[in-house]
Chains A and B, each alone.
Chain A
Amino acid sequence: MATRALFLERIRREVEKGGEFFPAVTASRPAHPSDAAELVKRQMAERWPEALDRFKVEFERVAGVFHRVAGWGDVPDVIVEIAREKAARSVVAWDESALGLDLRPRLEAEGLSVAVGGTGAGDENARRRHREDSARALIGVTGADFVLAETGTLILLSGRGRPRTTSLLPDAHIAVFDRTRLVESLAQVGILLEALHEDPTRAMSGAMINLITGPSRTADIELTLTRGVHGPKDVHAIFVGMP
């Protein structure tokens, strides 16, 4: 096997030989990512209604189902309705601290079993149990850390109380968010990602970020578009907030 030193030394020599094909620069990064991210948030505090309209259009274009409720207390009703349509008996959800609400009282009253991706470190057994619950659940409920309007995309950070598989293993994924999560452009997402990594020990606890744009899809058999090949067949977005 090559060693790091030899491998990189060889590349360095080639790089020096190669010189410049043309004068080129990388994308200019924000000098102070956290400040730039604050600015994005301030801008969006004004512009979120337009962003929400655009999100709805783009999300529906990629076959997402958009819901809007007045307050957090109304969210479980939507979930119960979706569960009824799918004849689902079990739900897996992010922890209350990551989701913004505890679904259990209302959902369990409807006879649904709710598995929660808890915040405890979790031993091997807890992990196995949670995985089995997630693989069995027909519905997975998560938050969304950023919601990107121009592409209809839900952006989820994994971490404590926010398992990466909640939005992946169940047949239907439901993401719940309010106006503070909305952004307009991929360029803004770039800034927010820079800020997240400026001090990742503080900003994020997990190892994965997923940008989710509609349901799982394939066109690998004679170009026929088919949904839910591995991941969710249906993706729902529940926006919490009055106009």
Chain B
Amino acid sequence: MSEVRFPERAATALKDRFLQEALTIATTKFIDLRKESFAGFPDGETLRDRARSIKEATLQKLHVHLGQLADNVERLGGHVHWATTGAEACDIILGLCRDRGVRMVVKSKSMATEEIDLNEALEHSGVTPVETDLGEYIIQLAHERPSHIIAPAIHKTKGQVADLISDVAGRRLPADPEALTAAARIHLRQKFLEADMGITGANFAVAETGTVVLVTNEGNGRMVTSLPRIHVALMGIEKVIPSMTDLAVFLAILARSATGQKLSSYTTLVRGPRQPGELDGPEEFHLILLDNGRAQQIAGPLREALYCLRCGACLNVCPVYRQIGGHAYGYTYPGPIGILLTAMLRGEESVKDLAHASSLCGACKDVCPVRIDIPRMLVDLRQHLDEHKIAPRAERLVFSLLRRVLTSPATFRMSAAAGRLLQRPFARNGRLTGLPFLFSRWTQARDLPPVAKKTFHERWKDLR
């Protein structure tokens, strides 16, 4: 996606002072809200275990649940489409637009549509996509990408937002979130009423009942599924769950993990198109089931990543995400889970740098509502990248040297002495910030602590 490599993107982010401040405020706030919410919720830990178990059990019979979901959607009068790749999913939607004379589409926030670059595809075909989640709307006006899964525009100042929305409104608006939100409401309300098609993702889909579940705070998910004459829902195959009882388990932990709310403002359960006797709702409902690299991980090393609910909790606690933000990752899904999802959807080659954008501290695993062992998979991924020579050569060379040094006491002592001597010209304020040659790739984006004056062995000898 991005021509610039990860270390350069990260370096740019580190120099952006507003971004740094915004990231700290946002992630700290989300962490506190989540913590508070689970602290007052004694059942939380048990429910997290149950949710994890449901995800695993569902994967063990995924084909059965997907078949049942499709049967039920069709029984309710909906249409089901199967997309092996993102391009196929785009073609299905473009085909629907063409056949039904759709000129404008309103979208509720959906990572799956970001993943398949749907907006570009629609624009190329002369269909206007309008993002209606306020954050996504701002990002669309700015021609950018979301920087956080649940807060897409946290990298924008209210001044920047005022510029963007003033252009649309045709009058100068103050840099006041309330006024800007009100202006966006008026503009987007018109779009909801005019659009021919509404496109959503799906947080869950209940196989037993054929129900697609959307969780939103703004109500745009409800608008998009209530006003246009066609509703299209695009979901990854891993979003299916068996029953309404399972849904209750997930709802209890999803919003708490994402924003610290007990429930988001709106949880919307959609079963097919408008039924006889209903005055509103779409005439047509289409469900697109998207594979796009997911199926091959059912038996693959990234299986656990298929449990992900897209709550964003792992982003907030990640010391790397907190420093560089979502754009530096360069793909649709940022943060620790984003590295794994990118490997899943775009192949391992695309994460040869990103695989190292984690300190393996384990904070992500601790907060994940379904306890995905992200650090374990990152370590396995790094090993795989090394063994299959996908990792950059310089990196592999450094690590093979390091292995020799660390496995022989004599070489270790010698290298420590040599390191102390050689590092002198590069140490600043007790950090190594600009090393030459092979090591420069490390210090471009990260500092390195210098070799200590004495090794632990030497200090131990002195103490005795």
Report A's interface with B, CB cutoff 8 A: 1-4, 7-12, 14-15, 17-22, 24-30, 58, 62, 117-119, 121-122, 126-127, 130-131, 134-135, 150-153, 158-161, 163-165, 168, 186-187, 189-191, 193-194, 197, 200, 205-224, 226, 228-232
Contact = CB atoms under 8 A, between A and B. Distances in A.
Contacts of A30: 245
A231 B218 contact: yes
Given A18-B303, A21-B304, A223-B25, A130 B245 contact: no
A199 to B, nearest CB: 12
Given A219-B151, A229-B181, 6 more contacts: A2-B84, A8-B63, A18-B60, A26-B54, A193-B269, A231-B219
B248 interface: yes
A214 B278 CA distance: 25
A1 B280 contact: no
Contact of A217 (B58, B76, B217): B217
A218 B218 contact: yes
Contact of B273 (A17, A19, A207, A223): A207
Interface string B116-146: 0000000000000000111100100000000
Interface string B178-193: 1011001100110011
A220 B133 contact: yes
A165 B299 CA distance: 43
| Closest 7 pairs (CB-CB, A-B) | A231-B219, A190-B248, A18-B299, A220-B135, A17-B299, A24-B56, A160-B277
A217 B265 CA distance: 7
A21 B227 CA distance: 43
A205 B184 CA distance: 34
A228 B245 contact: no
A151 B82 CA distance: 37
A81 B58 CA distance: 51
A163 B279 contact: yes
**Which of A18, A118, A191 neighbours the largest number of chain B CB atoms within 10 Å of its CB?**
A18
29 contacts: A7-B82, A11-B63, A24-B52, A24-B54, A24-B56, A25-B53, A26-B57, A26-B246, A58-B262, A164-B226, A190-B248, A190-B249, A197-B208, A197-B244, A206-B281, A208-B268, A208-B271, A211-B269, A213-B264, A215-B265, A220-B133, A221-B180, A223-B25, A224-B158, A228-B185, A229-B185, A229-B220, A230-B219, A230-B222
A216 B219 contact: yes
B61 interface: yes
Contacts of A121: 276-277
B181 A2 contact: no
B244 A220 contact: no
B247 A193 contact: yes
A151 B55 CA distance: 24
B158 A210 contact: no
A27 B50 contact: yes
Interface in B184-243: 184-185, 188-189, 192-193, 208-209, 217-220, 222-223, 225-227, 237, 241-243
A221 B158 contact: yes
B274 interface: yes
B368 interface: no
Interface in B240-295: 241-249, 251-252, 261-281, 285, 289, 291, 295
B232 to A, nearest CB: 15
B432 interface: no
Nearest to A222: B158
B114 interface: no
A217 B219 CA distance: 8
B184 A229 contact: yes
Given A2-B83, A160-B277, A223 B154 contact: yes
A208 B244 CA distance: 14
Contacts of B274: 207
B218 A190 contact: no
Contacts of B82: 1-4, 7
A11 B177 contact: no
A120 B52 CA distance: 45
A123 to B, nearest CB: 11
Contacts of A1: 81-83, 88, 91-92
Contacts of B135: 218, 220
A207 B271 CA distance: 5
B405 interface: no
A165 B321 CA distance: 39
A129 B68 CA distance: 38
Interface in B69-118: 70, 76, 80-84, 88, 91-92
B298 interface: yes
Contacts of B267: 210-211, 213
Given A21-B303, A190-B247, A210-B266, A197 B209 contact: yes
Given A1-B82, A229-B184, A229-B218, A206 B278 contact: yes
Contact of A230 (B58, B63, B188, B276): B188
**Most chain B CB within a 10 A radius of its CB, from A10, A26, A219:** A26
A228 to B, nearest CB: 7
B409 interface: no
A24 B54 CA distance: 7
Contacts of A168: 219, 222-223, 226
A216 B219 CA distance: 6
A130 B59 CA distance: 44
B29 to A, nearest CB: 6
B345 interface: no
Contacts of A27: 50, 54, 243, 245-246, 248-249
B177 A130 contact: no
B280 A131 contact: yes
Given A15-B298, A30-B245, A168-B222, A220 B153 contact: yes
A32 B291 CA distance: 35
A56 to B, nearest CB: 15
B224 to A, nearest CB: 10
